[in-house]
A and B are shown apart, each in its own frame.
Chain A
Amino acid sequence: MIPESVRETAELLASQDYLADRPLATTVHLALRMHRPLFLEGEPGTGKTEIAKVLAAGLNRRLVRLQCYDGLDLAAAAYEWNHARQLMAIRLAEAAGETDRARLESDIYTRPFLQERPLLSAIDPDQSPAVLLIDELDRADEPFEAFLLEVLADFQITVPEFGTIRARTPPVVILTSNRTREVHDAIRRRCLYHWVDYPDAPRERAILARKAPGLAERLSAEVVAFVQRLRREDLFKLPGVSETIDWAGALSALDQQELDPATVDETLGILLKYQDDIAKIRGAEAARLVAEARAAAA
């Protein structure tokens, strides 16, 4: 199931149309074999979340996704007691003349009353092995990180009223962060760390060939050359790979055979997401980059 070598890991990712560079494939391989969580940081749109999805599909595991946000708490992330159902059970017990308090208490704090949330679901020994994606951890707050430590270290969750639930097969855990906040060192130390960078031009062309099949080779080369040049500009938010893919799709929907400055200006909003950036590039700057990209792709 789990690949035996770095090459096999890279092939596994490639079989799901994810083209990882060598360091990333090595790190993923190590995470799988060492049963360590993998902490991926990088700019938005570089394919961090995608890795979890691809691994789930490639390893034939279910994907459990936890999207983080400020104030994410135990009830939303791990488990919650079903209070309404517990109250109903108490009423029913009363109606049936049940008076044994201890027994009542032990009855309503059992598994059927426990509502599973993503973290618990990922380590549930009664379900099939999972890939757990903890997405955008930087959006959660620090109390949540502290809670995560137990899950990441031992793949277990302790429910005070119930006991400890431990995974039978440790889940593959992928954590991602866009660095809108620094994630605490304690989390980092439990994980393997990898910084996901923008791909170089040949790899980005290969990604485009997989993700936007049917795109003319010439246009694809120009698109990549243009985006690669754009990433060297002094912009507030650089375009990621997902933007490249979207943009290539847009150009092909517009029946473009090659880049021309007018169309680039019109579709710049797909690559750049801040008005300041668009204003800076639109017009002369875009025309210059298009000329350069066309020369480079020729």
Chain B
Amino acid sequence: MTAPSPPQLPGRRLAANVMQFARLLRRAGLPVGTAEITAALEGLALVNLGDRGEVETALAATMVHRQEHRELFDRAFALFWRNPAATRQEAMLSLLAPEKLRPERPAPGSRRLQEAFAPPRQGRVREQEAPPAIEAVLTASERERLQELDFEAMSAAEIAAAKAEIRRLVLPLDLRRTRRRRADMGGPEIDLGGTLRLSLRQGGEILRLARQRRVTRPPPLVVICDISGSMARYTQLLLHFVHALTNLREHVHVFLFGTRLSNVTRQLRHRDPEVAFQLVAHIVPDWSGGTRIGEALATFNQFWARRVLAEGAVVLLVSDGLDREGARGLAANMDRLRRSCRYLIWLNPLLRWDGFAPRSQGIRAMLPYVDEFRPVHNLQSLRALVSLLSRPVTRGRSLDIWRKAA
């Protein structure tokens, strides 16, 4: 074959470097596979290799698929391109030390990058060159976090039972009419294309009309869950709940908040709950701390609402409404949230029917803006949670009673 060779076929050294770089990205948690490496090499052949900016853009365009990964990529690139051979060594590693990057706390992902540069002792003696100080600090804080998140392991049978429970879950307004249609001989609409195809089987004679009906689908579900200290006893149950939910239903997004909001949807997608919870523990900074509901909702409204509340999403807000900040900014953000989603359900696991009046500032600020209020005085099992959420819509009277009490 005499196919013309591409211009500037990248040298073998370059290819080796790109593969090394890809391995680094992969170990830092970026989904980089063979397809990305091939594309990156193809891209590099088309840019000026002497221009660092062009090289960086070519690699980013081919190896990064979402903006969230870009920061990690940028830092890995800066290190790797300065000296590919030395990236594993102490001098380079110290550049990634959290105190140099961000004074207050390590940037998300920096720990993953450090691990990628120096994989934690995988039987290779050479890796011990990694500076012990940084590693020790990080693993200590990690251990702390996992201790706070003290979960009993669920057996496989228990997990199966939990999933069976969640399958029974029917949320209010759970069916959304889409604009798609499917063939259904008993359907209300006539399907012209289908009728024609039917008629061809009869030699072009229309004997029967094909019919169709609209497809209905559950709308996206967004769970915003309070994991602050006052909610601590329910955290485990709620995490199992959202984990099963994320794995069973399509279009579920899960956010946890105490003082900060974290999107844990991707972590929860892991099928094994224990692994999923460990991943969650890695990224959630504030287990069992204080609550800033207003701030968490403000973050949600600002950065996530437009991304996850499309297609008539239903929002399930799980919180006791006890706000450390005295409900500052809460009403305005609840109002914005209510207006951005189709249906807002507030599940409050701490309210009692018997003689409780929702006097807390937070609860008063939130109540006017919810479509549904589901209080429960003692949330002990998934079964209870599922049947609570599956109750028919209680709009109107009961919500009015609560609002009057407030």
Q: Which residues from chain A sit less than 8 Å from chain B, CB to CB?
A: 5-6, 22-23, 26-27, 29-31, 33-34, 36, 41, 70-71, 73, 80-81, 83-84, 86-87, 90, 93-94, 99, 101, 104-105, 108, 138-139, 141-143, 178-182, 185, 188-189, 191-195, 234, 236, 276
Contact = CB atoms under 8 A, between A and B. Distances in A.
Given A33-B46, A86-B196, A22 B306 contact: no
A37 B10 CA distance: 23
Contact of A138 (B54, B65, B310): B310
Interface of B: 31, 35-36, 39, 42-43, 46-48, 53-54, 56-58, 60-62, 64-67, 70, 178-180, 192-193, 195-196, 199-200, 203-204, 250, 301-302, 306-311, 332, 336
A274 B79 CA distance: 42
Contacts of B43: 30, 34, 192
Given A182-B307, A189-B35, A30 B193 contact: no
B201 to A, nearest CB: 9
A6 B64 contact: no
Contacts of B46: 29-30, 33-34
B64 A141 contact: no
Given A23-B53, A36-B39, A71-B178, A194 B61 contact: yes
Given A30-B58, A30-B61, A70-B178, A178 B306 contact: yes
B310 A139 contact: yes
Contacts of B311: 70, 141, 181
Given A104-B204, A193-B61, A194-B61, A34 B196 contact: no
Counting from the closest, the 7 A-B pairs by CB-CB distance are A71-B179, A188-B65, A26-B57, A90-B204, A192-B61, A23-B57, A195-B67
Nearest to B66: A188
B47 A180 contact: no
A105, A178, A193 pick with most chain B CB within 10 angstroms: A193
A22 B57 CA distance: 9
23 contacts: A22-B57, A23-B56, A23-B57, A30-B43, A30-B47, A30-B58, A34-B39, A70-B311, A71-B180, A80-B193, A83-B192, A84-B192, A105-B200, A108-B200, A138-B310, A141-B178, A141-B180, A180-B310, A181-B311, A185-B65, A195-B67, A234-B302, A236-B301
B204 to A, nearest CB: 4
A193 B67 CA distance: 9
A34 B41 CA distance: 11
B182 to A, nearest CB: 11
A27, A99, A139 pick with most chain B CB within 10 angstroms: A27
A88 B326 CA distance: 72
Nearest to B301: A236
Contact of A181 (B58, B307, B336): B307
Given A23-B56, A94-B204, A192-B43, 17 more contacts: A22-B54, A23-B53, A26-B58, A30-B57, A34-B39, A34-B46, A70-B310, A73-B179, A81-B193, A81-B196, A87-B196, A101-B200, A104-B204, A138-B310, A141-B178, A189-B35, A189-B65
B400 to A, nearest CB: 28
B57 A27 contact: yes
B307 A179 contact: yes
A113 to B, nearest CB: 10
B61 A236 contact: no
A174 to B, nearest CB: 13
